[in-house]
Amino acid sequence: MAIVVRSIGKTDIQVTSLGFGGAPLGAVGERISDDQASAIVTAALDGGIRFFDVAPLYGHGLSERRLGKVLGNTSREQFTLSTKVGRLLVGEDQGERNAQMRDREPVSIRYDCTYDAARQSLESSLERLGIDRVDILLCHDIDVWTHGDAQAGIYETAAQGILPALADLKSEGVIGAFGLGVNEWQVCSRVMDEFDVDCFLLAGRFTLLEQEPLDEFLPKCIDHQISVIVGAPYNSGMLAVSNRKRATYDYKPVDDERWQKAQRIREICDTHAVDIRAAALQYPLRHPAVVSVIPGVWSLEEVQANLSLFEATIPAACWDDLADAGLAKRLD
């Protein structure tokens, strides 16, 4: 599968079918140095990746700064950039630190889904990035997956605050597209009914391992001409490793049922001499609603591996066998 350029919804914004998930640049899970981060982003650019996604959450702003350091020296017309709103970075004693982040940034996080906070967050992101604009702005983590029982209140605030703010920013020409960046499809479906959004960044829910969105959500996206960007195509690493001790699902230890399903997928891929990681990267893009997959990258080796895996040839028989085994639904 070659890297191609695809449009976001009905907009003029374009993304490459293989994108770059910027969370690891913010020391999510493990630390990398500034020099390593620059080398990773440069290698992605050199490999033809032109779509980069970050968020204030990732390393409490560190990911945005590191990405901007490289992209700031790249022609602005040569890349598409998305970031997110919904969390403000505040003083260390004014919010909470995210335990998954291993950065040393002297700030904390405060959830704020109000109208003014969306604009404030964008301005702060542009300062950290050192770039004059972002192309896609996403309302971040207003799902039950993140907030549990508090989600209803978070959603109502966002529906009266962030989402109207994003619509206004688009109409003003400040951004080119907007939507959600979340970990579940149900909240996307609700937003689709209430707002004229352009895209959803859906992490971990439409993958080689999980296809629940196929039944209702993805057809609805096609009907509304809304694009889907798939984050976490390896399901937070579970489809990328063979050692269970290193495997996680939704950033937690893998349960037996999901691990066994992943191994059955791996076995079928092996019979066709297909790397399961290649199948995981390519599977979501076989659906017409999906415009890009954006795996997170922790090293130069992972950049090169993703580029190679993305271009690998996967025989139709492999997809057929996965479908016949009830593991990955048929998409053609």
Instruction: Encode pLDDT of 175-191 as tens digits.
Output: 999 999 999 999 999 99
- For the record, the structure tokens of 173 come out as 């020409």
Phi and psi for 170 in degrees, rounded to 5?
-70, -45
Q: Determine whether 75 is exposed, middle or buried from the number of CB atoms within 10 Å of its CB (0-12, 13-18, 19+).
A: exposed
What is the rounded distance in angstroms from the CA atom of residue 229 to the CA atom of residue 24? 18
* Per-10-residue mean pLDDT, the chain, length 332: 98 98 86 94 98 97 97 97 98 90 92 98 98 98 96 98 98 98 98 98 97 97 98 91 85 90 97 98 98 96 97 98 97 86
What is the rounded distance in angstroms from the CA atom of residue 295 to the CA atom of residue 53? 10
- The whole-number pLDDT of residue 58 equals 96
Mean of all residue pLDDT scores within the chain:
96
List residues bridging with 107 in a β-sheet: 91
Is-catalytic flag, 261? no
What is the rounded distance in angstroms from the CA atom of residue 143 to the CA atom of residue 180? 10
**Does domain 5-255+288-312 correspond to CATH entry 3.20.20.100?**
yes
H-type alpha helices, 213-273: 217-224, 256-271
Q: Which of 10, 12, 35, 53 is catalytic?
A: 53
- The whole-number pLDDT of residue 303 equals 97
- For the record, the structure tokens of 73 come out as 């020296």
For residue 149, the one-letter residue type is D
List residues bridging with 230 in a β-sheet: 202, 293
> pTM for the full model?
0.97
What are the extents of the domains in the chain? 5-255+288-312
CA 113 vs. chain centroid, Å, equals: 20
Cα-Cα-Cα-Cα dihedral sign, residues 137, 189, 249, 309: negative
Whether 55 and 181 have beta carbons less than 8 Å apart is answered as yes
CA neighbours within 13 Å on the CB side: how many for 114?
6
Helices 316-324, 256-271: crossing angle, 10 deg rounding: 140
What is the rounded distance in angstroms from the CA atom of residue 274 to the CA atom of residue 228? 25
What is the rounded distance in angstroms from the CA atom of residue 165 to the CA atom of residue 175? 11
| Element housing 85 (H / E) | strand 80-85
What is the rounded distance in angstroms from the CA atom of residue 198 to the CA atom of residue 297? 26
Residue with tokens 């390393």: 59
Q: Which of 84, 111, 198, 249 is catalytic?
A: 84
List residues bridging with 88 in a β-sheet: 110
What is the rounded distance in angstroms from the CA atom of residue 235 to the CA atom of residue 247? 10
Q: Which of 10, 12, 35, 58 is catalytic?
A: 58
Q: What tens digit of pLDDT does each residue of 75-129 get?
A: 999 999 999 999 999 999 999 998 888 888 999 999 999 999 999 999 999 999 9
Is-catalytic flag, 170? no
In the chain, the N- to C-terminal Cα span, in Å, equals: 16
